[in-house]
Amino acid sequence: MIAGLAPAAEFSRVQDDFARSIASFRPLSRDEAARLTPNRLDFYVVRPGDTWQSIAAHAGGGNVKATVLAIMSHSAVNEQPHPGDRVKIVVSR
């Protein structure tokens, strides 16, 4: 399921953008589907000197932004994690 969200007053302005985005999807070939490797969540214990930015750069190959990691771990994006905190990270298989 795909949804496009916009304020009611703006929807008519962005409706064509939504339609073009939806039309850009195509079925995967068997070969493409076989090569997919889903990510998974894991936990990481914060070490002294770690920041959301450094954790994001190393965890999951840097595919997840620091702010997303903070939100996933129920932390404020403007506060850094503390040593010993157990935070969620995204890891590739």
At residue 58, the pLDDT reads 87
Tell me the DSSP string of 1-49.
-------HHHHHHHHHHHHHHHHT--PPPHHHHHH---EEEEEEE--TT
pTM above 0.75, yes or no: no
CB 29 within 8 A of CB 70: no
> What's residue 4's pLDDT?
78
pLDDT digit string (tens) for the chain, length 93 residues: 777 788 989 989 999 999 999 899 999 999 999 999 888 899 999 999 999 999 999 876 678 899 999 999 999 999 999 999 999 998 876
Q: How many CA atoms lie within 13 A of 46 on its CB side?
A: 21
CA–CA gap between residue 93 and residue 64 (Å, rounded): 15
pLDDT for residue 63 = 81
Chain-centre distance for alpha carbon 89: 10
Residue 39 is predicted with a pLDDT of 84
